[in-house]
Amino acid sequence: MHEIMEGLKKAGFSGELDDSIEARDFYSHDASMFELRPKLIVKPRNAKDVEILIKFTAKAKQDKAHISLTARSAGTDMSGGAINDSVIVDFQKYFNKIENITSVSAHAQPGVFYRDFESETLKHHALMPSYPASRDMASIGGMVNNNSGGEKSLEYGKTENFVTKLNFVFADGVEREVKPLNRTELNKKMAQKDFEGEVYRKLFKLIDENYEEINNAKPKVSKNSTGYNLWDVWDKEKGIFDLTKLIVGAQGTLGFVTDIHFRLVKAREHSGLLVLFMKDIDDLGEVIPTVLEAKPSTFESFDDATLWLSIRFMPSFLKLLGWKRFIHLLITLIPDGLQLLRGVPKLILMVEFNGETEAEVRQKVIALHKTLNPKRARYEINGFEEDPSESKSEKFWIMRRYSFQLLRSKVKDKHTAPFIDDFVVPPNNLTVFLPKLRKIIKKYRLLATIAGHMGDGNFHVIPLMKLEDPKDRKKILPAMKEVNNLVLKYGGSLSGEHNDGLVRGPWLEMMYGKSMMTIFKEAKHIMDPQLIFNPHKKANAEWEYSFSHIREHF
């Protein structure tokens, strides 16, 4: 790496270069179960540095075919998308400026933490609502590259719906603006005699000639982060070609995002939560449609394992929340502790409504309560909590949002193994699907929590395993195959939010078929002909490679 470091300095790279053991150890893993030790970490100071880095890498690949670049911000990716055995490009250090925010739009760099971004948007009574459960740790760059979603996606959709324009460094090492184009603008782009023009010409040809197949391949679920989002790039009816739709969710495999423009929505002042404690899940088929008919802003869930995890590691919340919020959490949990004496629920459902006034929210909550209440005995829903106050409902959001952090840090003899952590199944199939899922989990003796976005049918199953134990490692492949087959049998997607990376990329062919995989690979080749960006991910992933890099040391 010394030669590369010297070469970058001579080329005018002004950022930081680090090949220390400590840095390489730190960047060797993200929030996934994989480990890849990089040879070098670079921290570009500006877009010019990113251009220099990519041009240098393109030239270096002629002699050093192994060199490649993987972008990283907060490193919270659960699919292994933010690690690489070559060069890691850290956007957290210097690409952290919030440029401008209004009540309807925002402009910021990819290294900005979402928590800081939201703090600023709320000053304008505005929100970018596609934040993930890891909202306190995630960066907006990671949200864009994974096409993240979360608890508000039921109402607002995912990040792809809020990106209006990007600054993007292409594989030729030139930063350009990417935004939706009408047909006249597209024709002008395609007429260019440069790499950008070639990209637009080839991508348009690829999508237009395979238009029907590409659109038929779009997963029939409300959220999806698998594959390349080609089906939304070219809209024939509107005559709009939008390359941002391909870049969002591409996990940095096509080039690097250096600047982001978002559309924002109005932050509603009031919210209220209706909590349902379900003793069994047999009647979800009737409960779910009833809830969805009420048009909630959020419909979340977590299981009994998540509940007991929160109770078992309650002291850990002190560090996460601070004394004031921790004491409040303990006090507000007392009524629910009494509720648990009547029987531990298999599933806790959280139905949230938003509105302009507390009265409006209260009316929505009470109306759904009344609709469900006559059926309570039949459905064995043995508890309702009407919570128009956001502070009262905080305890449930804490359990839901922080469960993965607790799993990662507090179960000492086992480790999180997120390999079936993000599938989506149409909600009308959940009554049949969930019992079969539980059977698979039981069959492989997996200790796992189940939480998710009930309204979208998007579930996060996080097994706890001794990954250094060959017996546990052997469970991963067969368990994953069974769950994936079950998901696809019921018309689902293998990832709704967390993307493909190392863990799901190898199964894209099973989901989409060989023909679509060829189209995905061609799109990658058009954007990245030298394979500079983030290798072994998405359409170029192979299970043998991924499996060989599962962590063995913790």
Q: Both tokens of residue 214?
A: 């590409």
Cα–Cα dist 48/52, whole Å: 6
Count of other CB atoms within 10 angstroms of residue 31: 22
Q: Report how many helices (DSSP H) and strands (DSSP E) the chain contains, helices first.
A: 23, 22
Residues in the chain with pLDDT values less than 50: 334-335, 338, 341, 375-385, 388-390, 410
**CA proximity to 451, closest of 414, 416, 479:** 416
Q: Which residues lie across from 88 on neighbouring strands?
A: 41, 70
Cα–Cα dist 474/430, whole Å: 28
How confident is the model at residue 384, as a pLDDT? 42
Q: Which CATH architecture fits 98-266?
A: 2-Layer Sandwich (3.30)
83 contacts 35 by C-beta, under 8 angstroms: yes
* Alpha-carbon dihedral 220, 225, 228, 229, rounded to 10 degrees: 60
Phi/psi at 51 (5° precision): -65, -45
Q: Both tokens of residue 53?
A: 């880095």
CATH of 269-406, one of 1.10.580.10, 3.20.20.80, 3.30.70.2190, 3.30.210.10: 3.30.70.2190
Burial of 492 (0-12, 13-18, 19+ CB in 10 A): buried
Residues 6+ apart with CB under 8 A from 375: 286, 381
68 contacts 530 by C-beta, under 8 angstroms: no
CA distances from 17 to 39, 224, 242, 255, 326 (A): 11, 36, 35, 20, 41
Specify the residue for token string 């599938």.
423
pTM above 0.85, yes or no: yes
73 contacts 120 by C-beta, under 8 angstroms: no
168: Cα within 13 Å, side-chain hemisphere = 25
How confident is the model at residue 388, as a pLDDT? 46
Residue count of the chain: 554
C-alpha triplet 354, 359, 360: angle, nearest 5°:
45
Q: Which fold has domain 2-90?
A: 3.30.43
How confident is the model at residue 334, as a pLDDT? 47
Cα 222 off chain centre by: 14
Q: What are the residue ranges spanned by the domains of the chain?
A: 2-90, 98-266, 269-406, 501-547
278: Cα within 13 Å, side-chain hemisphere = 22
